[in-house]
Chain A
Amino acid sequence: MSQWLAFAGSHLPTLLAGTGYTLTIWAVAMIAGFVAGWVLAVARVYGGSISRRLAVGYIELIRGTPLLVQMFIVYLGLPQIGIVFAPLTAAIVAIGINTAAYQAEYFRAGIRAVRPGQIAAARALGLSRGQAIRHVVLPQGFRIALPQWANEVVIELKYTSVAYAISVPELMGRAKEIGAASFRYFAIFCVVAVIYLVLVTVVTLVLDQVERRYGLRH
């Protein structure tokens, strides 16, 4: 045990540097996915028939295929048509594309759960349709969607580990390197498991608080 701790300690700086990448990918992709998710959800609920169909097609395509494939297409496939990303950027783009589809579905469910009377009341005050959506439907829809959304945020934190497959030096990638150099794969993955456990627990606790404060159910 103490031997393992010494081993873990000696590699901790490298792993923490990797954790920095992990959190960067996660944060940027989640924010991009948040914005894109809302655009997709609004297009799917309120859009004309063309934008509605485009949104549905995108969401179903992304949710029907694995993140790993999406990441390979972004990182290895797109260069063939002249779109080249660095590994870190490719990981962010792929996870952003992925989470946008899932977030869109949770936001859509939230929008649908807003009671129709809320829009009627906003319109009765003279708010335009766009204003009613922006100031009443979206904030309420988000609060209703909060539990599912928080879940998605945690899921994507774990999925950032897929980025190691396109050689991003995040937590998982660093572990693989250390394993290859020391031949102590099991030991190093135990350390990594503990780090993820801590990250996920902290994020979950924070999101629980957010939910408690802002959650809304009818």
Chain B
Amino acid sequence: MTDATRLRAEHLTKSFAGRRVLDDVSLSVAKGEVKGIIGPSGAGKSTLIRCLNGLEPLDTGRVWLGADELTARKADIDALRARIGFVFQDFNLFTHLRVADNLMLGLRRVRKMDAVEAERCARAELDRVGLADKWQAWPAELSGGQAQRVSIARALAMAPEVMLFDEPTSALDPQSVGSVLRVMRELVAGGMTMIIVSHEMAFIEAVADDVVFMADGAIVEEGPAGQLFNTPHAAATRAFIDGIAAAHRGEATTP
């Protein structure tokens, strides 16, 4: 491992009710690197990314954030999670809190900031995602795209060392997708370390340095974005990418 490695996972396995969902998966992302994860529904992408910050307990395998091991017996998992940003497919904004308090909850309770500092920090992040005027709004009053940008701001406010995205645009209408992807592009440009699970192939191809193709709980293929999308080695990868492309052209995916 080089000093630049931010997040590293080795030999992860995980079963649900006896069914193997992750089968010896290893993965690492370097400082400033953007890694895309693609694959068919049920491949285990969400499970993998949730295991990376301990939201889902592992059966076996180890995960490190920098030099600190999340899976260590004595690890302070809460403190480590605070250093990893996570963005959910369905936002999970706290429905009982205004946008402002959604952003400040972690700052106050975890980072132990005082009210003034937390507000300054939260306002800056909300401004960064272009929603400064939603400070006092309730989550229910936001459109899907706005809610997802607030949830990104909530994660960014904690000044994470790495950001994990689990299909951040899948629950959005087509108009909203663009606004969220724009924010994510800016993060990429700012040098944020990111792991992105997404079905937005064009976006992944454009921003990811490296792409992982998963199927049936295992990594089938991993490589630079351009190579993986244009000249994939594995037949399964090609079939998946062709299928997506076909679907986009409005053709039937099966003869």
Q: Are A120 and B82 in contact (CB under 8 A)?
A: no
Contact partner of B92 among A118, A127, A143, A218, CB < 8 A?
A118
Q: How far is the CB of A143 from chain B (nearest CB, A)?
A: 6
Would you call B110 an interface residue if the criterion is a C-beta within 8 Å of the partner chain's C-beta atoms?
yes
User: Of residues 163 to 218 in A, which have CB atoms within 8 Å of B's CB atoms?
Assistant: 216, 218
In this complex, the interface size class of chain B, counting residues with CB under 8 Å from chain A, is: 20 to 34
Q: Are B81 and A124 in contact (CB under 8 A)?
A: yes
User: Of residues 40 to 58 in B, which have CB atoms within 8 Å of A's CB atoms?
Assistant: 50, 53, 55
What residues make up the interface of B, taking CB atoms closer than 8 Å to A? 50, 53, 55, 78-86, 88, 90, 92-96, 105-106, 109-110, 151, 154-155, 158
A-B contact pairs, 15 of them (CB 8 A): A115-B92, A117-B90, A120-B88, A121-B86, A121-B93, A121-B151, A123-B55, A124-B86, A125-B81, A127-B110, A128-B78, A131-B109, A131-B110, A140-B94, A140-B95
Q: How far is the CB of A192 from chain B (nearest CB, A)?
A: 40
Given contacts A118-B94, A124-B55, A126-B110, contact A135 B105 (CB under 8 A): yes
Q: Are B106 and A125 in contact (CB under 8 A)?
A: yes
Q: Which 4 A-B pairs have the closest CB atoms?
A: A126-B82, A125-B106, A121-B92, A124-B86
Contact partner of A120 among B78, B84, B92, CB < 8 A?
B92
A192 to B190, CA, bound (A): 72
A124 to B94, CA, bound (A): 12
Give 4 A-B pairs besides A123-B78, A124-B55, A139-B96 with Cβ atoms closer than 8 angstroms: A115-B92, A117-B92, A121-B93, A123-B55
Measured between beta carbons, the chain B residues less than 8 angstroms from A128 are 78
Q: Are B95 and A216 in contact (CB under 8 A)?
A: yes
Q: How far is the CB of A218 from chain B (nearest CB, A)?
A: 8
